[in-house]
Structure 1
Amino acid sequence: MIDTHVHFWNFDPVRDNWISEDMMAIRKDFSPTNLVSVYKDLQITGCVAVQANQSEEENHFLLGLAGQNEIIKGIVGWVDLLNPDLDERLNYWHNHKTIKGWRHVLQAENRDFILNPAFIAGVKQLKKYHYTYDLLCYHNQLKAIIEMVDQIPDQPLVLDHGGKPDVKSQDLTAWAANIKTLASNPNVSCKVSGLLAEADWKNWTEKELFNCFDVMFKHFGTARIMYGSDWPVMLISRPYQDWFNLVNKYAERFTADERKLIFSDNAKAFYKL
């Protein structure tokens, strides 16, 4: 089994200022050694490490960890997609085969950034090097994401955290409609990950999360959904095992082959692990 979405960091209160005071559980260092015993208990064989810092130094940091920890099977790094020398940078990073794709924190950007022709041109360049691209956005940004995706029909894309629906309010109508539209693009996959951060951290219910899972699985199907934890961010709500068990419980409705797709094969195919 593969966990397609984890982060590692040496906590820096200035650089990591998105980790607010009410997230005390994650205002510290997290390394692969923190995951080894949990993964062993749950029979998870590896993970994809996703950038948490928007710098090329982050790529070196994650590559260093991957060189010392075999649980890291792939890396989603960061590169400046607006850089006029982007092709040179992609060519440089292409020598590091553990890097499978790239991500920018689009949830922190506005519509004009997402639909900037230069940014979209940058994403289009990724195909030349067989890279993937992770889409990170809030539910209220999905319309812009859809317009962006419509312009890059042959680039492998994955929606992180299901597009961050408002689990807490359960106002899911607009989000569900946008997920349906986005999923009509066959090059887009979806991660079942990160939803605890969008819920009431201490008082969410299984039904609230399953309502979101229903939409994601209805439109993406088991062939384009992959399991992820969003560890350690999810620790603001529950221990790792609770999230895994929740997704595993939902997946009981599927066949053994379908569960294998969700927890393993889709990730291996998408990220070329």
Structure 2
Amino acid sequence: MRLDSHQHFWEYDPKRQDWISPEMSRIRRNFLPADLFPLLQDAKLDGCIAVQAEESIRETDFLLDLASQNEWIKGVVGWADLKSEQLDEVLDQYADSSRLVGFREVLQARDPRYMLQEEFVRGVQKIGKRGYSYDILIFPNHLSATLELVKKCPDQRFVIDHLAKPYIKDGEWKEWKKGMAPLAERELVHCKVSGMITEANWQNWTPAQLFPYLEIALELFGPDRLMYGSDWPVCLVAGEYEHYWQVIEDFTASLSPSEKTKILGETAAGFYRI
């Protein structure tokens, strides 16, 4: 199975999507399954994982509704308040939602110590016991705290979104690699090669600037724990879907067929239990 492991849908609302700045005006509109499906077909992908972009239960329900209408939306990474005392009750409501495969929140906007709070750690452990994965959306300065979180939840499946957003625009990789390496040593931690072109210079990035980060990710995690994701439609501020897809195609061209197959879908399907 070939999958895009990371993309978003929304019905644009300036209050709900207040993170979309004037510089990102291209994505200030609705993005729905009918917009994505032709792009997946062109890339010969079988489906996708829809990931939350808004921190609300409404978002989780919205994505699950879209998945129920479109078989090719293979899974949903939703949102829930993991610190809530009512978390168990919320999770009970989704017990029969087979497309709900995991959870995420925008940790990159929070102090790194947020994820080490007792209530948050307990929430991650609770979703893990119910079979859900956790997507980690962070910046490089969160890597140390992320390692501590992972240690506190040794049985939880984690995936680092967007390679933890390395400073590609500045060409920095040494400190980022140093922070990623101990996480890669944890066998239940995976990584998405997604969201890269928006961390580069939006106007003049080149594949050559991205390859060193892809090579490091492959070195650290290997194809068994690496998965392709487009980060569509956010990626559109820096390039078309097919532009980043071609980067991944070119990068994986030198790998064995089985290694390429894993990165382009099998790893994601296994991780999200599709």
Secondary structure at 2:197 match in 1: helix
Q: Deviations over 1:70-110 (max 9, x none)?
A: 22110000001011121121122121111000001100110
TM-score w.r.t. the length of structure 1 is 0.98
Aligned to 1:231: 232
Q: Deviations over 1:209-259 (max 9, x none)?
A: 001111111100111001100000000011100101101100012100111
- 1:164 correspondence with 2:165: yes
Aligned to 1:87: 88
Structure 1 segment 201-220 matched on structure 2, within 5 A = 201-220=202-221
Q: Is the 8 A contact 1:10 1:29 kept in 2?
A: yes
Distance 2:136 2:40 in 1: 26
Residue type matched to 2:17 in 1? D
Structure 1 segment 9-48 matched on structure 2, within 5 A = 9-48=10-49
Q: Deviations over 1:175-216 (max 9, x none)?
A: 011111110111100001001111000111212100111111
Structure 1 segment 116-265 matched on structure 2, within 5 A = 116-265=117-266
Residue 149 of structure 1: CA displacement? 1.0
Q: Deviations over 1:153-181 (max 9, x none)?
A: 11010000001000000111110111111
Secondary structure at 2:152 match in 1: coil
Secondary structure at 2:171 match in 1: coil
Q: Is the 8 A contact 2:5 2:265 kept in 1?
A: no
- 1:111 correspondence with 2:112: yes
Secondary structure at 2:253 match in 1: helix
Where structure 2 has 5 or more consecutive residues not aligned to the other structure, the ranges are: none
Where structure 1 has 5 or more consecutive residues not aligned to the other structure, the ranges are: none
After TM superposition, the runs of 4+ consecutive aligned structure 1 residues lying more than 4 A away are none
Residue type matched to 1:129 in 2? R
Residue type matched to 2:140 in 1? H
Q: Is the 8 A contact 1:193 1:228 kept in 2?
A: yes
Distance 1:144 1:169 in 2: 23
Aligned CA RMSD, in angstroms, stands at 0.9
Residue type matched to 2:258 in 1? D
Secondary structure at 1:5 match in 2: strand
Aligned to 1:65: 66
Aligned to 1:267: 268
Residue 39 of structure 1: CA displacement? 1.3
Residue type matched to 2:125 in 1? K
Secondary structure at 1:101 match in 2: strand
Secondary structure at 2:203 match in 1: coil
Distance 2:9 2:253 in 1: 30
Distance 1:12 1:131 in 2: 29
Q: Deviations over 1:24-43 (max 9, x none)?
A: 11011000100111111111
Distance 1:36 1:123 in 2: 32
TM-score w.r.t. the length of structure 2 is 0.98
